[in-house]
Structure 1
Amino acid sequence: MLKWIDIIKYANNGAPAPDRRVEKTEEEWKALLTPEQFRITRLKGTERAHSSELCSLFEPGKYACVCCGTLLFDGSEKFESGTGWPSFTQPVKENAVAYHKDTTYGMVRIEALCNTCDAHLGHVFEDGPKPSGLRYCMNAVSLEKVESNEQKLTFGGGCFWCTEAVFTLLKGVAKVESGYSGGKIDNPTYREVCSGMTGHAEVIEVTYNPAEISYKDLLRIHLSTHNPTTLNRQGADVGTQYRSVIFYRSEQEKEDAQAVIDELQEAYGDPIITELAPYEQFYKAEEYHQDYYANNAEAGYCQAVIDPKLKKFKALFRDKMKTETI
């Protein structure tokens, strides 16, 4: 998660390298864009406040650069700032946006640009909502809404190396990230979480297409590939950070999660004690935790703990797996 100190660092030292670069002449941009789009994105203009319906749209979707099509923001990070411009708390990727110090009009501000094509997007301020505290104040003209029905699900069931290894194999799953949720401090480190003092659980955040795999099916797989009857423990991993938990994003998700728990209860001799908690924030874990099994399949923990879990998963849910992973 980016915070203000990161924005200042990138404004002073340059943003991370973009995934690609798009460069065109002024005439080529003029031929591609409307006059207003050209004025805002290529001449660093500002649209009139409250001039776009984009300010009041909060349905799922993604937002791309109107010039080059690079994905910049996810609708889940959009919020009502009351400023009259669309506002976001985070970009979709750390290298999606570039930052420049802007001293025009007698002010010192941080300008936000598309890191792919240098299109002017707006400015970033440090008066946004917690936990990032950022407000990406964007010109709606700079953005293009991209329809997407992807949804996210966050849950924990022991070491996130194990759960990540399972869910990356599923059809309809676009992305799995390991991280921390349900605790008391912002941006916890692995060492802090392992202390048990922060209250966070090791979790994964699954981005999935509900047209291909349902929320309930994901939870059925979750509850069937770890032991949801042991309190704060999975095998030799002991502590509150290893608790069985589902973070719901709506009352409907809460009801559906409880229905799945009730459905699977008779398969277990002991009561399912999986915690149901409202989702607040997901903090992505350190990079060395991401794709851990894929990068360390020969490690002792992977062979002793994750391999048997994957074998059980494949026996139970072969029909749910991506074809290339069977």
Structure 2
Amino acid sequence: MPSTVKMWKSALLTALIIIGIGAQKHPAHAQAHETLTVAGGCFWCVEADFESVKGVSEVVSGFTGGNLKNPTYDQVTGGDTGHYEAVQIHYDPSQVSRSQLFHMFFRSIDPTDAGGQFCDRGSSYRSAIFVSDPAAKAEAQKAKANAQKALGQEVVTPILPKQTFYKVDEYHQDYYKSSDRLAFSSVGLGVKKSVAYKRYRKGCGRDARVKSLWGDEAPFAK
């Protein structure tokens, strides 16, 4: 009996050691990811752009920057809430850094435009970066200065304190890749959301303007 107990204790100790080593090599998924909040005009477009980046696990569309709690899409686009159409970018910092994301963000928008982005005008379509700590603010400011130097024009995109982020309803999430059909839209009848999105993006002139500003530095413009 004593030898059996010793065998069980030895096996248990070995198992605990293996589990401990495994935990060190494979930290919890949640601990490996961070979140970045930016506004770059239409959140469908920003979501589509950054979900293509290696190291980004998800981009969530929503609103931030205003005072109205739990705003609706219609309330925000109406222009009286102070909110921006924004996204939260969930990423793995071991694969893509915050500085790299800031760099790409400035080159995916028109940071010289204070009145909106591309064909979308008004306060809800303004660009901005939202930060929660001094390190993020410093990185954002450096990226902004680099963007201004590269363009040779004033960059007006503000760097603001992070505020509550309100996720928009599911209708607007992953719009760019949805196969749901729209009974009516400004770009056609009975078309898939993904098709309507492509027509909207082209018609709005987003990629054409970004390409004209940034040339080969534009990471997403086609």
> TM-score normalized by structure 1?
0.50
**Distance in 2 between residues matched to 1:314 and 1:209, nearest whole Å:** 28
Write the mapping of 1:146-225 to structure 2, written as runs, cut at 5 A.
148-225=31-108
Structure 1 residue 156: Cα displacement: 0.3
Task: Report if aligned partners of 1:219, 1:260 keep a CA contact under 8 Å in 2.
Answer: yes
User: Structure 1's 211 and 151: CA in aligned 2 closer, same or farther, altered over 3 A?
Assistant: same
**Distance in 2 between residues matched to 1:252 and 1:156, nearest whole Å:** 19
Task: Report if aligned partners of 1:293, 1:302 keep a CA contact under 8 Å in 2.
Answer: no
More displaced, 220-229 or 265-274? Answer: 265-274
Structure 1 residue 168: Cα displacement: 0.6
Structure 1 residue 159: Cα displacement: 0.8
User: Structure 1's 269 and 314: CA in aligned 2 closer, same or farther, altered over 3 A?
Assistant: closer
Aligned residue among 290, 298, 317 for 2:195: 298
> Residue 164 of structure 2: SS of its match in structure 1?
coil
Q: Using CA pairs below 8 Å that are at least 6 residues apart, which structure has the higher relative contact order?
A: 2
Write the mapping of 1:1-326 to structure 2, written as runs, cut at 5 A.
148-295=31-178, 296-299=193-196, 300-305=199-204, 308=207, 316=217
Structure 1 alignment gaps of length 5 or more: 1-144, 322-326
> Residue 148 of structure 1: SS of its match in structure 2?
helix
Task: Report if aligned partners of 1:180, 1:283 keep a CA contact under 8 Å in 2.
Answer: yes
Task: Calculate the aligned-residue CA RMSD, in Å.
Answer: 2.5
What is the identity, as a one-letter code, of the residue corresponding to 1:222? Answer: F
**Distance in 1 between residues matched to 2:62 and 2:119, nearest whole Å:** 20
**Distance in 1 between residues matched to 2:205 and 2:96, nearest whole Å:** 23
Task: Report if aligned partners of 2:118, 2:205 keep a CA contact under 8 Å in 1.
Answer: no
Structure 2 alignment gaps of length 5 or more: 1-27, 179-192
User: Structure 1's 236 and 307: CA in aligned 2 closer, same or farther, altered over 3 A?
Assistant: closer
Deviation per residue, 1:272-305 (Å, 9 max, x gap):
0111111121111111111111122321304434
**Distance in 2 between residues matched to 1:264 and 1:314, nearest whole Å:** 13
Task: Report if aligned partners of 2:119, 2:204 keep a CA contact under 8 Å in 1.
Answer: no
User: Structure 1's 302 and 264: CA in aligned 2 closer, same or farther, altered over 3 A?
Assistant: closer
Deviation per residue, 1:226-270 (Å, 9 max, x gap):
101111211111111111100001111001100111112122242
What is the identity, as a one-letter code, of the residue corresponding to 1:190? Answer: Y
User: Structure 1's 307 and 261: CA in aligned 2 closer, same or farther, altered over 3 A?
Assistant: closer
> TM-score normalized by structure 2?
0.72
**Distance in 2 between residues matched to 1:158 and 1:283, nearest whole Å:** 16
Aligned position for 1:82: none
Counting matched residue pairs gives: 175
What is the identity, as a one-letter code, of the residue corresponding to 2:203? Answer: A
Structure with the higher helix share, 1 or 2: 2
**Distance in 1 between residues matched to 2:92 and 2:156, nearest whole Å:** 28
Structure 1 residue 316: Cα displacement: 4.0
**Distance in 2 between residues matched to 1:307 and 1:159, nearest whole Å:** 10
**Distance in 2 between residues matched to 1:294 and 1:191, nearest whole Å:** 22
Aligned-residue sequence identity (percent) comes to 37
Structure with the higher strand share, 1 or 2: 1
**Distance in 2 between residues matched to 1:306 and 1:181, nearest whole Å:** 25
**Distance in 1 between residues matched to 2:166 and 2:215, nearest whole Å:** 29
> Residue 195 of structure 2: SS of its match in structure 1?
coil
Deviation per residue, 1:58-97 (Å, 9 max, x gap):
xxxxxxxxxxxxxxxxxxxxxxxxxxxxxxxxxxxxxxxx
